[in-house]
Structure 1
């Protein structure tokens, strides 16, 4: 296994040298920690760790925990450097998650429960496949943030509720298109009250901080009647008793559908229906700082629910690398992650479905919710 990892890293590094002349002195590598070798990483790790602790307000219960988190931090510095080699059009380095192991990160900050196979089975149930839309004349660049359909970046905290933020964000946009009013909606209602299950997988249900899926969340809303505002049902970041009050519904789902794995159809549905709920493989997101992520190697196992809000024709890439078309993704890890809470990932025929970004895309339409 170690030999295979070394081989993959060697191949990626060779490709980077050919395409971008990346070497130990390249600023892309120095961005992680000044210097180009692991000895330098070890020598400077403690000072960088101290800065990290101060910057992100970290605290540990005792000296043993501090020492353990320092060791994890050192490992993540090396991991960020590998990510930089494998994903040179983005910037990778120290983030607020740099003291978490990959397993801790997945368990705490991801939460997309089901596979593409499970989603496809839903096409014959309450969700239906989106009709094919014309793609002629689509603008080269589009961003729903410029049109008032995207709410503020939120923070899910240490709760695997990403799916609820993806679903609420899509409904916020759809409700704006239907009513002209942007309502900031409640994720906590999903966390506390939505236990909708996939009929084909009885053990796969929306489970609050333990994960869920956007399409079953939309199915729950159709049955419940709609979603309260965040103001009326505020987020706590932990599982709680359901306090849903139907009289306080501010947004309701009319219907929802699943978009085919086709970039043109995804873009057309984005323009027609507003921001889209999507799944993604978050392998590179723990170390992401900015730029257009387009890793040479990325799996398509989906483990994180996010919101697709727009796309661009040519995103900035570091020196010697061509600019790349990209998707604009709103995340739920706060504004102090990524590009003020946002992530960019490459798109286009030569990088189709990078990190599975096109594999699980759902659109929702809203109706105006009247209070009774």
Structure 2
């Protein structure tokens, strides 16, 4: 009798737990209840709440577009719940800011932007680019590193509908190198990189080219002096006055990480934040909410299409991961970050080992000290 009562209670508790809303660790991602999928009014209410959260409004004349977005939202929520119901997954999906887009629409929204030359990746590899003042010692690799807690990473930013991921990746690496060298964390201008360093503007670029431009230009302006204006997808003309007179942050050179080596990337990240390229067009990355990502992205180096910033690495319950800062705003992932599995393969998850580099800047007396 007692065992039967215990079994009934256990099943009731399990049923209650399964009906609880999913709320990602990121408070900017709207939570949901699995039962929402079985109620049209609740699903519509959830969609309205999601639209309100993301500042989306539909007029009466846009009812067909709203209906289309709602159907995509429903399909994505079904996909999210199917994934989250699986046992053993190391990550969760959620109603990110991209939950009303198909994969094809997301790809067309220019949220990526890494632009590789027509020739192969091997010809891209440069070993070291050092100017006279620079230094390049690699410290011993520790078990975990998080440059966010050491004052070398600025807030999460948003590239918008401009293919400027490369500029955000490069700016983050420059910010980290400068903070470690000077002891001062300064947010630098992605807009200057987009409008002044590249003829392609929002149509893509490379992090190494951004580093090269900053060196040749004699520095880069701060975010405050040259704020980001290309969010909507159109980059304007270079502000020559700011470019010439506000060269606030400088670097001495840059180095490329040996490709296809997890150990080489770890050694680099143990020293400072590192720009990397990944393949980021997978639907489960578009809807990533939390956990250690081990999803369906391509690990082929020739598929890389997005520049991001590795700001550390660690382990959770025996699963090793990279800490990756993205440029899709706060309403995606873990407050704009994704932890990506370190799986020991040559190319790494989403080909993260394929194309990595970092700026080099000589330390001053007030530089931050890397902890072991």
Question: What band does the TM-score fall into relative to the shorter chain?
Answer: 0.7 to 0.9
Using the alignment, how far apart are the partners of 2:136 and 2:180 within structure 1? 20
Larger CA deviation: 355-364 vs 82-91: 82-91
Is this contact kept in 1: 2:289–2:333, CA < 8 A? yes
Once superposed, what is the RMSD of the aligned Cα atoms? 3.4
Match of 2:251, SS? strand
Give matches, 1:49-128, under 5 Å.
Answer: 49-60=47-58, 62-81=62-81, 83-84=83-84, 85=86, 88-108=89-109, 109-114=111-116, 118-123=120-125
Using the alignment, how far apart are the partners of 1:154 and 1:234 within structure 2? 12
Using the alignment, how far apart are the partners of 1:366 and 1:325 within structure 2? 29
Match of 2:149, SS? helix
Larger CA deviation: 206-215 vs 150-159: 206-215
Give matches, 1:175-190, under 5 Å.
Answer: 175-190=178-193
- Deviation per CA, 1:39-70: give whole Å up to 9, x if none: 73877542321221122221235112111211
Corresponding position: 1:242 with 2:238: yes
Instruction: Report deviation, 1:255.
Output: 1.6
| TM norm structure 2 | 0.77
Counterpart of 2:354 in structure 1 is 359
Change (3 A) 1:26 1:364: farther
Instruction: Report deviation, 1:231.
Output: 0.7
Counterpart of 2:28 in structure 1 is none
| TM norm structure 1 | 0.77
Counterpart of 1:16 in structure 2 is none
Using the alignment, how far apart are the partners of 2:117 and 2:35 within structure 1? 39
Corresponding position: 1:156 with 2:152: no
Change (3 A) 1:323 1:58: farther
Counterpart of 1:12 in structure 2 is none
- Deviation per CA, 1:247-269: give whole Å up to 9, x if none: 21112232212212211111111
Change (3 A) 1:184 1:347: same
Is this contact kept in 2: 1:227–1:250, CA < 8 A? yes
Instruction: Could you tell me which runs of 5 or more consecutive residues in structure 2 were left unpaired when the two chains were aligned.
Output: 1-14, 23-30, 365-372
Using the alignment, how far apart are the partners of 1:27 and 1:101 within structure 2? 27
Using the alignment, how far apart are the partners of 1:356 and 1:42 within structure 2? 40
- Deviation per CA, 1:257-311: give whole Å up to 9, x if none: 2212211111111122x1000111222321011111112x431221211110001
Corresponding position: 1:226 with 2:219: yes
- 1:333 is aligned, of 328, 338, 346, to 328
Instruction: Report deviation, 1:78.
Output: 3.2
Instruction: Could you tell me which runs of 5 or more consecutive residues in structure 1 were left unpaired when the two chains were aligned.
Output: 1-23, 196-205, 315-321
Is this contact kept in 2: 1:183–1:250, CA < 8 A? no
Match of 1:150, SS? coil
Using the alignment, how far apart are the partners of 2:346 and 2:79 within structure 1? 23
Instruction: Report deviation, 1:81.
Output: 4.0
Is this contact kept in 1: 2:292–2:321, CA < 8 A? yes
